[in-house]
Amino acid sequence: IDALDGREVLNHKMTIRNLDERVAVVPRLALEGWPDLSSSEGILRSILKPEMTDEQKTLAIWKFLVDWRYHYYPAEGGAEIHDPVKFINVYGYGFCDDSAQNAAALAKMAGLKSRVWGLNGHVVAETFFEGRWHMIDPDHEVFYRASAGHIAGVEELAANPGIITQTPR
């Protein structure tokens, strides 16, 4: 359906028919330019490229979550909202721990070592590559680079908070 052809969209009807011999149990709509949100593997295939470095993969996961979720009281408690597909497709929002847990889950599926840090009133994710941990915060939509150029980790930021305060907004 081309809904953007200059006409006002009023009461359009769309019928989805399975033209395949196989039974389509869960049909899905795919929008051009959008990532495949049907599975965690689909999300990763959409946002990662084989030639990416571990840092580029980390930042692609961070950017995906920054773009596809927002901060609000989670609809559910517990681990259900920590499934990337449910988080994006069913809820679309949550607190910092939900964003961090989903960042870590996607990073692990992408082959990166990852962990989640519970700070004093906030939660962030880290990935490990090039011999050190690197913190990403999709909820606050930030990450910090040390003077050497690498993404700083939580322990490095705690030891040198000037990295945070000197980062331009």
Q: Specify the pLDDT at position 107.
A: 98
Q: Specify the pLDDT at position 11.
A: 66
Q: Using an 8 Å Cβ cutoff, are 121 and 101 in contact?
A: no
What band does 1 get if pLDDT is binned at 50, 70 and 90?
A: very low
Average pLDDT of the chain, as a whole number: 89
Higher pLDDT among residues 80 and 163, named by residue = 163
What band does 6 get if pLDDT is binned at 50, 70 and 90?
A: low
Q: Where are the beta strands (DSSP E) in 7-147?
A: 70-71, 93-94, 113-118, 123-129, 132-136
Strand 132-136, strand 123-129: pairing? antiparallel
CA dihedral 85, 56, 99, 169 (to 10 degrees): -140
Q: Can you tell me whether residue 125 is helix, strand or coil?
A: strand
Rounded to two decimals, what is the model's pTM? 0.83
Mean pLDDT value across residues 29-56: 92
Q: Which DSSP helix (H) or strand (E) runs through 61? A: helix 54-68
What band does 27 get if pLDDT is binned at 50, 70 and 90?
A: low
DSSP 8-class letter at 129: E
